[in-house]
């Protein structure tokens, strides 16, 4: 789905446009050539004509004819994912029911039930859901409900999203940020889970291009600069392996491929290292042409050849041959010490495994005869179906749970009888208990992991054998939610707690009814909602509960107005304007953040504590209830979640130039411990650059020091200049800005 601009600002004439559209259509047919059965061409043509006619007056933001979007999505499905004729038809029609006069009945009449069902899955909810919940999360839930009937829905949805990411240049910045965040937050993990690694990688890279443009360009530039020496190193590394494989008479392909920009950036952040220190900028891939019955044996033979040549890092062996991931990924990964003391990751797989790794689910159907992997997917869909059908209304929570439960990497756990259960990384004994059965979960008091007694909060590791201990006296408690990660466990615990809450809440309901009757107000939905909203609670149940447990004594009710039997809450007091911090030593002027968006008059705002933005940072505003606008950096740890879940509350924000006011920020410095180092640092900051220091702490141990400095700067340029000057001091190893609340 795409925002549509009606004005044709495309400068091709009609003839050229027709040619362009036909060229795309022919390319789609060419991709399908090997799969077209008699009669298929006619149906594809029919779908193409129906879509072209329906979208004929529409144009994309870039001005090109809209029909090029569904055509491109269909081509991605065919060429990059390996889907066939029916999926192409659905891709061509995926926006028609939502955006044009065509109805689902039309699609059903022309193309039958199966296609209509998939197109329905692709047509998002058009009615706006509750404003507080995110519409995106709600759409997502709808998509997933259909996914469990037919996985092609989600695959076409991913192709649609990928094409939108590839062609987002002519959109407004806030739209780019929202769509990119959503992509990283939901769609890339989903692509990973469906086994579509290439698509996942491209989505993450494209999102990073919009969310962190500077870092993206910087890494891309460095990758380009180091390409020649990398190629030289790869060739040197591969040479002896090639000889060994040829001697062993294997049919094989061997090549080096660079890691994606996003995954390099991830490594830099996780390990806290510079680009130059990321050792695995590339992976070597060996793809064998093996007979099905010899696949595993051949992969291990090749592993043995590699480790004869280079010594392996024992803890970096990943064996997904014996235990494939539940998205079907099979391979052997090892990290070895190559020439010049560089670690190199080597991935060994066969042609069949490679196709599954690149085409995911679609390749599975091709190799369906095997049966066993199929059931892994079915299990996964089964679990999703179970969670989706349970009536939990908070879609944002649902999205978070879904991410944790279904998009995480997995571990496998054995039952006492030796059956395998797949659980997400981070799962605890309690998660396992709920995965066995919800009754077992709610009565669980402990577990034996590998025959040792552990508490229910114990985190499991792959390969553990777990026996659950239950008691009929046990019941779920609130703190259980802190240590479960699977959606099933969370849902069941919440259900049990709700039941308990209902019982307690009865008392509060009775109290409130007496109070309302005493005031002469009716006990009706409007009045109860009025009181619930006044106390800023999520639901009447929550209100009754809070009254029951005496957290609310209802004395504010006397400020309510009663007209007839109708209650009206008193109006809330207006929020006072929040100023960012300023330093008393500087002249106090109104620090005004100019907001280019809905209105540019003075606006209540404050700076987010999680990322401490300063002028010059790329920022966005987030409308919070009761607090006005909170300003976050676009690369803030919470940004993706906020933008993906509450896109409608994002405001485009820019800094006004203002030199009179300073902002608090923090730096972390690491270097060699040296007698005068503190002096050098403070001299540079306060003396030469005249920047006010708010606090400084330095800890030295074993010849290294680690310092944190909080200081007041006017804007990002000043901060960057300071960071550079500090790095130039002798003995300083790294200087990084805080991304966390440490600066607060």
Q: Is the dihedral of CA 608, 614, 618, 621 positive or negative?
A: positive
Q: Which of 17, 98, 114, 706 is catalytic?
A: 98
Q: Which of 1, 164, 182 has its CA nearest to residue 96?
A: 1
User: Would you state the torsion angle of the CA atoms of residues 9, 10, 11, 15, taken in this order, to the nearest 10 degrees?
Assistant: -130
- What 3-state class would DSSP assign to 60? strand
Question: Does an H or E element contain 711, and which?
Answer: strand 704-713
Largest CA distance in the chain: 95
Two structure tokens written together for 358: 């690149």
Q: Are 122 and 328 in contact (CB under 8 A)?
A: no
Strand order in the sheet with 619-624: 605-607, 628-633, 619-624, 650-652
Check residue 249 and give left, alpha or beta (phi > 0: left; psi -120 to 50: alpha): left
- Tell me the backbone φ, ψ of residue 44, rounded to 5 degrees: -60, -45
Q: Which of 24, 99, 266, 386 is catalytic?
A: 99
Measured distance CA(325)–CA(596) in Å, rounded: 47
Two structure tokens written together for 522: 């009716």
Measured distance CA(100)–CA(292) in Å, rounded: 48
- Tell me the backbone φ, ψ of residue 193, rounded to 5 degrees: -70, -30
Write the DSSP symbol of residue 92.
H
DSSP assignment of 309-372, as one string? Answer: HSEE-GGG-EETTTS--TT----EEEEEE-GGG-EEEEEEEEHHHHHHHHHTHHHHHHTGGG-H
Q: Are 493 and 440 in contact (CB under 8 A)?
A: no
Q: Are 655 and 616 in contact (CB under 8 A)?
A: yes
Per the annotation, the verdict on 120 as an active-site residue is no
> Residue for token digits 């180092």?
677
Helices (H), ranges, 126-225: 135-147, 152-166, 173-182, 188-193, 197-211, 213-225
Per the annotation, the verdict on 99 as an active-site residue is yes
The number of residues in the chain equals 744
Q: Which of 613, 612, 596, 635 has its CA nearest to residue 213?
A: 635
Q: Are 506 and 487 in contact (CB under 8 A)?
A: no
Residues with active-site annotation: 98-99
């Amino acid at each position: 789905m795409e925002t549509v601009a009606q004005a044709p600002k495309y400068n091709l004439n009609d003839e050229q446009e027709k040619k362009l559209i036909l060229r795309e259509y022919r390319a789609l047919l060419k991709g399908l050539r090997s799969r077209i059965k008699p009669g298929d061409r006619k149906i594809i043509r029919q779908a193409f004509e129906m879509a072209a006619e329906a979208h004929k007056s529409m144009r994309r933001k870039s001005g090109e004819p809209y029909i090029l979007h569904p055509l491109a999505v269909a081509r991605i499905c065919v060429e990059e994912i390996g889907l066939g004729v029916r999926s192409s038809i659905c891709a061509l029609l995926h926006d028609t029911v939502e955006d044009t006069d065509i109805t689902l009945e039309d699609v059903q009449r022309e193309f039958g039930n199966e296609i209509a069902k998939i197109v329905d899955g692709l047509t998002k909810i058009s009615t706006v859901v509750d404003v507080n919940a995110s519409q995106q999360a709600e759409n997502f839930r709808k998509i997933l409900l259909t996914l469990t009937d037919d996985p092609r829905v989600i695959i076409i949805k991913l192709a649609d999203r990928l094409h939108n990411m590839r062609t987002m240049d002519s959109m407004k910045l806030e739209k780019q940020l929202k769509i990119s965040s959503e992509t990283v937050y939901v769609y890339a993990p989903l692509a990973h889970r469906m086994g579509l690694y290439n698509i996942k990688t491209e989505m993450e890279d494209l999102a990073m291009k919009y969310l962190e443009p500077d870092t993206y360009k910087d890494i891309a530039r460095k990758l380009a600069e180091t390409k020649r020496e990398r190629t030289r190193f790869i060739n040197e590394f591969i040479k002896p392996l090639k000889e060994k494989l040829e001697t062993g008479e294997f049919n094989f392909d061997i090549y080096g491929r660079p890691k994606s920009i996003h995954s390099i950036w991830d490594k830099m952040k996780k390990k806290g290292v510079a680009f130059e220190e990321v050792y695995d900028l590339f992976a070597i891939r060996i793809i064998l042409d093996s007979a099905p019955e010899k696949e595993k044996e051949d992969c291990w033979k090749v592993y043995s050849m590699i480790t004869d040549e280079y010594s392996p890092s024992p803890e970096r062996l990943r064996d997904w041959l014996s235990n494939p991931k539940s998205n079907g990924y099979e391979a052997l990964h090892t990290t070895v010490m190559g020439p010049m003391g560089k670690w190199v990751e080597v991935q060994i797989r066969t042609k069949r495994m490679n196709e599954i790794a690149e085409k995911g689910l679609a390749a599975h159907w091709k190799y369906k005869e095997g049966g066993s992997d199929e059931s892994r997917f079915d299990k996964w869909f089964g679990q999703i179906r179970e969670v989706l059908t349970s009536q939990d209304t908070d879609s944002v929570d649902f999205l978070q749970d879904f991410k944790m439960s279904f998009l995480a990497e997995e571990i496998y756990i054995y039952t006492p009888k030796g059956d395998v259960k797949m659980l997400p990384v981070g799962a605890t004994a309690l998660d396992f208990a709920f995965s066995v059965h919800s009754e077992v979960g709610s009565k669980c008091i402990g577990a034996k992991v590998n025959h040792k007694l552990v508490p229910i909060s114990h985190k499991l590791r792959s390969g553990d054998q777990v026996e659950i201990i239950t008691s009929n006296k046990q019941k779920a408690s609130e703190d259980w939610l802190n240590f479960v990660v699977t959606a099933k466990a969370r849902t069941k615990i919440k259900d049990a707690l709700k039941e308990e809450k209902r019982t307690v809440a009865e008392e509060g309901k009775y109290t409130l009814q007496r109070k309302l009757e005493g005031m002469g107000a009716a006990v009706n939905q409007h009045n109860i909602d009025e009181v619930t909203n006044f106390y800023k609670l999520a639901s009447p149940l929550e209100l009754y509960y809070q009254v029951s447990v005496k957290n609310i004594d209802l004395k504010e009710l006397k400020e309510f107005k009663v007209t007839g039997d109708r209650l009206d809450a008193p109006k809330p007091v207006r929020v006072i304007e929040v100023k960012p911090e300023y330093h008393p030593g500087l002249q106090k002027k109104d620090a005004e953040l100019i907001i280019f968006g809905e209105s540019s008059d003075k606006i209540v705002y404050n700076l987010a504590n999680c990322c401490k933005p300063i002028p010059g940072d790329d920022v966005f505003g987030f409308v919070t209830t009761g607090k006005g606008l909170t300003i976050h950096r676009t690369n803030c740890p919470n940004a993706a979640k906020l933008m993906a879940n509450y896109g409608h509350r994002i405001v485009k924000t820019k800094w006004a130039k203002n030199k009179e006011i300073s902002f608090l920020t923090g730096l972390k410095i690491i270097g060699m411990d040296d007698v005068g180092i503190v002096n050098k640092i403070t001299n540079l900051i306060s003396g030469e650059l005249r920047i006010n220091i708010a606090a400084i702490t330095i800890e030295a141990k074993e010849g290294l020091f680690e310092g944190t400095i909080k200081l007041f700067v006017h804007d990002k340029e000043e901060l960057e200049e300071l960071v550079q000057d500090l790095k130039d001091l002798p003995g300083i190893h790294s200087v990084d800005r805080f991304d966390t609340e440490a600066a607060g």
